[in-house]
C-alpha cells in the first residue's frame, strides 16, 4: 500500500493535496480509493483504461475530446460510473467533496482479455453509465479499503471481472464476442487447489495461481469458477474458514492468533468472514463444542 503521487489544486488555493489515500498496485493495473476536496484537473490523458466509481453526493463536470476531435461535456452524479479509454484527452472539475474508487487497467490486460474473446477491441467512452455490476464491485472494493489492507486475490479477481465486463459491454465490436466454457483439467485443478491449501496464511495473488497452472489470469479465473463453482478468492476464504473450524475445535490457540495464522489482516476481519460463512462468531463456535 502506498500514497498516490497524483496531485490537484483546490480552487482559490495554491497548495496541492493528495487525491487518493490508498492504492493497490497490480501487475497490469491498480485500484485507488480516497477522498478529494473540490478541485480542477486541467486537460490530460492517461495511458490506462479507467473505471471511476463515485459515491454519495458526487457532482463532477467533465469535458473531453472524442476520437473524431469533437469537444463534449457531461455531468457525473451519484449512481453513475465512468468508462474512459486509454489516452482520452479530458479535464475534470470536482464540484464538491468526493469519495471515489478508480480502477486502472493496463492496455495489455484489456488486450489479453480481448484476445481470448474476440481478437481486437475498441473501448468506447461512457461518462454516465448506470451499471449494476460495476457499482456493486465498487462498493465491495470500498469496504475492502475501509477494513484496512485489501486482500490482493480479491482485488485482482475484481479487476479481471471488470476488464472482462468492459470488453463484453463497452467495446465497439461486443456483438461478435463468443463465450468460453472451458473447465480446468483435473491435473490443473489439483495444482491450483494444492497451492492454495499450502499457502493459506499468505496473501495469494491471481498471478501466482495462474502461473502455477501456466494459464493467463483471465482464462484461469474463469475456468476455476466453472470447475469449482467459486472464484479463486471465494475458494481461498472457504478453505481458510474450514482450517479455522479445525483449529477452533481441536486446539486452544487464541482466536487472534488463528486470525493471523490464516492470513487475515485482523481479528475483526476474521470474525466477520467466519460469521458470514458459518453463521456464528469464532468465539461462539468454539464455546458450543
The residue ranges of every structural domain in the chain are 7-175, 181-289
pLDDT per position as a tens digit, 234-251 = 999 999 999 999 999 999
CATH architecture of 181-289: Orthogonal Bundle (1.10)
Q: Give buried/exposed letters for 245-276 (b at 16+ CB in 10 A, else e).
A: bebbeeeeeebeebbebbbbbebebbbebbee
Sign (positive/negative) of CA torsion 175, 176, 181, 187? Answer: negative
Superfamily name with CATH number, domain 7-175: Jelly Rolls (2.60.120.10)
Grid-cell match 483546490, residue found: 10
pTM: 0.69
| Gap between the Cα atoms of 225 and 181, Å rounded | 10
pLDDT per position as a tens digit, 116-148 = 766 667 888 999 999 999 999 999 999 888 887
Chain centroid offset of residue 212 CA: 22
Contact 277, 237 (CB under 8 A): yes
**Residue 221: predicted pLDDT:** 87
Residue 26 has pLDDT above 90, yes or no: no
Work out the angle at residue 24's Cα, subtended by the Cα atoms of residues 22 and 25, and round it to the nearest 5 degrees: 130
pLDDT per position as a tens digit, 52-87 = 999 988 999 999 988 778 899 999 998 999 999 999
pLDDT per position as a tens digit, 185-233 = 899 999 999 999 999 988 898 889 999 999 888 788 888 988 999 999 9
| Gap between the Cα atoms of 34 and 71, Å rounded | 29
| CATH topology identical between 7-175 and 181-289 | no
Amino acid at each position: 500500500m502506498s500514497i498516490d503521487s497524483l496531485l490537484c489544486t483546490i480552487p482559490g488555493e495554491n497548495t496541492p493535496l493528495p487525491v487518493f489515500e490508498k492504492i493497490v498496485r497490480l501487475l497490469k493495473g491498480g485500484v485507488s480509493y480516497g477522498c478529494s476536496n473540490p478541485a480542477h484537473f486541467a486537460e490530460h490523458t492517461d495511458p490506462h483504461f479507467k473505471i471511476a466509481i463515485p459515491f454519495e453526493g458526487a457532482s463532477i463536470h467533465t469535458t473531453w475530446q472524442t476520437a473524431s476531435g469533437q469537444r463534449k461535456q457531461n455531468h457525473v452524479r451519484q449512481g453513475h460510473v465512468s468508462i474512459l479509454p486509454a489516452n482520452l484527452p479530458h479535464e475534470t472539475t470536482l464540484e464538491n467533496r468526493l469519495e471515489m474508487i478508480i480502477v486502472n487497467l493496463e492496455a495489455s490486460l484489456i488486450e489479453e482479455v480481448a484476445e481470448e474473446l474476440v481478437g481486437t477491441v475498441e473501448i468506447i467512452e461512457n461518462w454516465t453509465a448506470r451499471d449494476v455490476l460495476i457499482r456493486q464491485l465498487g462498493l465491495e472494493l470500498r469496504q475492502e479499503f475501509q477494513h484496512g489492507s485489501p486482500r490482493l486475490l480479491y482485488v485482482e479477481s475484481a479487476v479481471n471481472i471488470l476488464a472482462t465486463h468492459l470488453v463484453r459491454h463497452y467495446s465497439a465490436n461486443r456483438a461478435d464476442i463468443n463465450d468460453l466454457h472451458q473447465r480446468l483439467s483435473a491435473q490443473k485443478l489439483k495444482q491450483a487447489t494444492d497451492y492454495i491449501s499450502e499457502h493459506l496464511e499468505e496473501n495469494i495473488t491471481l498471478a501466482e495461481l495462474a502461473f502455477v497452472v501456466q494459464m493467463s489470469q483471465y482464462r484461469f479465473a474463469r475456468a476455476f469458477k466453472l470447475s469449482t463453482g467459486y472464484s479463486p478468492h471465494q475458494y481461498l476464504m472457504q478453505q481458510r474458514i474450514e482450517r479455522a473450524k479445525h483449529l477452533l475445535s481441536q486446539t486452544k490457540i487464541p482466536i487472534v492468533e488463528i486470525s493471523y495464522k490464516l492470513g487475515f489482516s485482523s481479528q475483526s476481519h476474521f470474525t466477520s468472514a467466519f460469521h458470514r460463512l458459518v453463521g456464528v462468531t469464532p468465539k461462539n463456535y468454539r464455546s458450543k463444542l
